[in-house]
Amino acid sequence: MTVNDGQNPSKELVSAGLSDIQVKIFRSSKKMDTYIYLPVDAEFDELPEALRKQLGRTVFVMELSLTTSLKLALFDATTVMQGIAKDGFFLQFPPPNLSPVLPEELLE
């Protein structure tokens, strides 16, 4: 991989080898705000058994055409596409809760 200025690889270089991909997205019934992206022709049963158990029953959310220029809510589409190219799927966990929890007496 070529690196610009000895720092981080440019987005163009990282995404250059990626092709647009049709994916189906499922939501986990066991883990809140956890989603799995699969190539449209992949089957849930092809995933590792441990992962299937963690996700529980999945609920279909949508089909989507991923392109390197697509803007997603939590991740860069290139990151999702790279995960699918590497592992055959991309697992999206909920973002960490960065809001501090205030003591109840301060909420009154």
Task: Measure the CA–CA gap between 8 and 11, rounded to whole angstroms.
Answer: 9
For 90, the domain range is 18-96
Each residue's pLDDT, cut to its tens digit, for the chain (108 residues) gives 323 333 444 444 445 568 899 999 999 999 888 999 999 999 989 999 999 999 999 999 999 999 988 888 888 899 999 999 999 999 998 877 766 666 666 555
The two structure tokens encoding residue 54: 């963690």
Domains identified in the chain, total number: 1
3-state secondary structure of 39: strand
Task: Write down the pTM of the prediction.
Answer: 0.73
Is 58 within the bounds of a domain?
yes
We report the CATH number of the domain holding residue 79 as 3.10.510.20
Nearest to 73 by CA among 58, 98, 95: 95
Residue count of the chain: 108
